[in-house]
Structure formats: C-alpha cells, structure tokens
C-alpha cells in the first residue's frame, strides 16, 4: 500500500505555491507610475499598459504617454509625460495633491500646449483652437484665467473700435489669417455670466473666430494685457507656464489607501489591490 503522506505534502505545497503567486501578482499590480520627475497617482496610469488586463491602474481618459523627447546628438533622451485631450497632446509639467480652495480639497495637474508655443514663436496659427475640457472629469478651476484671441481672414479690415480692444496681432505665415489678442482676460468661460458672454460675442467681427485659451493666473500680468503692453515673446512665456486642471480624489480609492492598499479599476468600479498581509482584493469598502 502506498504511503499517503508524500501525496498530502505535495498538494499542500502546490496550494501554498498558488497562493504565494496570487499574492505576489496582487502586490505587484499598479505600482506608482513615474515619468520624468513626476509620480502619477490613481486615477492616472501608464498608457502602454492600459487595457492589457482585467484590472487597469487608472480611469479611462487619464492615461499618460511617457514619450522620449529628442535631444541633440550625444545627449540622453528625456522622458516627457503627455496627456491627450481631444486628440491634442499636452505636456504634464506638475501635479499638486490635496490643495485647499473655496470648493474644498482638490488635486491639480499643470498642462502645457507645446504645439501652441511653437506656433507663436514661428508666427503660425495652426494650433489656435478653443480648449475643450475632457469628459474624464478633469475640470478647469473656477478661478482659471482665459486669454481671448480672434482669428480673422488676412483681408479683414478691422474697425478702430475693434483694434482698441486688442493687445497685439500678427499675420499667420501658414494660412490666410491674422491673429488678434484681446485686451482683457476673463475667468473660466463656463463661469461667465450672460452679460460677459454677450460682450465677448458682440465684439467678435463677422468671419472671425473667437478662440479662448486657459493660462495660469499666477503667471500672467493682467494689467499688461489690459493695457495692450505685451509682446509675442511674453505671450509665449505665459503659455509655457501652463494652466491647471483639477480633479477630486475618488472616495473608493481613498478607502483603499487608508488600508495601505493600492487602487485599481476593473472597468466598472474601483478595487483594492492587496499589499502584504491583506486578504481582500475585490472591494474598496
């Protein structure tokens, strides 16, 4: 008769091995994602791994492309974090967590439209289009500042009252247009009252397009714009400082963090990913 002890020991070791592998898999999921000098927390995740498994490390629309920026010869390339919004790439400059404002505690991500800066420096108008807030939940803060531009046909003969309301203008070298910067800044366009909306629409000449671009209120001299005392190089520096978008921390993910667990997303809800010593891998409660 065969001795059953070796068989029992084999199955016991097999079960322990499976449990160990499962725990290691859970523990290794969704580590902090770093690109350049920035650590991206949930709901952001690495675009290269998003959608590759049953559990993702972030929400849809929060994927970061860690691109390699081309450098001169004999220099190492530098990774550049990119967030896509409405097919437009934005370079991520900074992330600030748990900031206190009138609307409560929010998180901020600072974005830079490098295509727009390049266009201004080369007198191009190709990238000048209205900023569209993403549907992912990233929002322009209520205290955000917007610059107002008018993109007009090159043959447009502006009346004097329109010119009096502009700070600078230049001819676009890549199309038959001329760009005008309005001599005023306004708060987040979504917060404009009907009078402000009517004012901006009323001074937009026929055949001209109104373009509103967000900038950081901390990096623009409002009086310089209002007084028409701004040059194209200064405008480029203001845009290079970037603009903020805000998001609020997910409550379910916060519960995971309180239990010293990581956050994941199973395409329908946030799930906690176990760290050493935890047993619950499917609930954020």
Q: Cα separation of 164 and 226, whole Å?
A: 11
Residue 9, pLDDT score = 45
Residue 71, pLDDT score = 52
Angle at 85 between CA 82 and CA 87, to 5 degrees: 95
Q: What percent of the chain has pLDDT over 70?
A: 75
Choice between 9 and 28, residue whose per-residue pLDDT is larger: 28
Section 117-121 average pLDDT? 92
Section 199-224 average pLDDT? 77
**Is 80 exceeded by the pLDDT of residue 227?**
no
Task: List, for residues 19-42, the tens digit of each pLDDT value.
Answer: 433 333 454 678 878 999 999 999
Neighbour order of strands in the sheet with 177-187: 166-171, 177-187, 145-153, 209-215
**Is 50 exceeded by the pLDDT of residue 80?**
yes
Residue 25, pLDDT score = 46
**Is 80 exceeded by the pLDDT of residue 268?**
yes
Contact of 34 with 80, CB cutoff 8 Å: no
**Residues facing residue 33 across a β-bridge:** 40
Q: Cα separation of 149 and 22, whole Å?
A: 56
Residue 195, pLDDT score = 38
Task: List, for residues 248-260, the tens digit of each pLDDT value.
Answer: 999 999 999 999 8
Q: How confident is the model at residue 93 (pLDDT cuts 50, 70, 90)?
A: very high
Provide the 3-class DSSP secondary structure of residue 128. Answer: coil
Residue 235, pLDDT score = 87
Residue 4, pLDDT score = 54
Residue 200, pLDDT score = 52
């Amino acid at each position: 008769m065969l001795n059953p002890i070796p068989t029992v020991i084999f199955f016991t070791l097999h079960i322990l091995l499976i449990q160990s592998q499962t725990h290691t898999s859970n523990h290794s999921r969704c580590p902090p994602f770093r690109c350049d000098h920035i650590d991206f927390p949930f709901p952001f995740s690495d675009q290269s791994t998003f959608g590759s498994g049953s559990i993702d490390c972030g929400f849809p629309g929060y994927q970061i492309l860690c691109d390699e920026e081309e450098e001169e010869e004999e220099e190492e390339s530098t990774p550049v974090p990119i967030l896509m919004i409405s097919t437009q790439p934005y370079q991520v400059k900074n992330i600030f967590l748990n900031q206190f404002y009138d609307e409560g505690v929010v998180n901020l991500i600072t974005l830079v439209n490098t295509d727009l800066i390049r266009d201004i420096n080369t007198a191009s108008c190709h990238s000048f289009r209205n900023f569209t807030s993403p549907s992912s939940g990233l929002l322009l803060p209520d205290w955000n500042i917007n610059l107002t531009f008018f993109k007009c046909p090159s043959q447009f003969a502006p009346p004097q009252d329109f010119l009096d309301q502009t700070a600078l203008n230049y001819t676009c070298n890549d199309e038959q247009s001329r760009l005008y910067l309005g001599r005023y800044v306004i708060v987040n366009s979504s917060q404009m009252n009907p009078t402000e909306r009517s004012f901006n629409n009323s001074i937009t000449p026929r055949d001209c397009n109104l373009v509103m671009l967000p900038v950081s209120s901390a990096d623009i001299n409002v009086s310089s714009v209002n007084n028409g005392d701004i040059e194209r190089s200064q405008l480029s520096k203001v845009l290079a400082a970037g603009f903020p978008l805000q998001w609020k921390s997910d409550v379910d993910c916060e519960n995971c963090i309180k239990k010293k667990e990581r956050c994941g997303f199973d395409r329908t809800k946030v799930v906690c990913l176990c760290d050493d010593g935890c047993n619950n891998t499917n609930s954020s409660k």
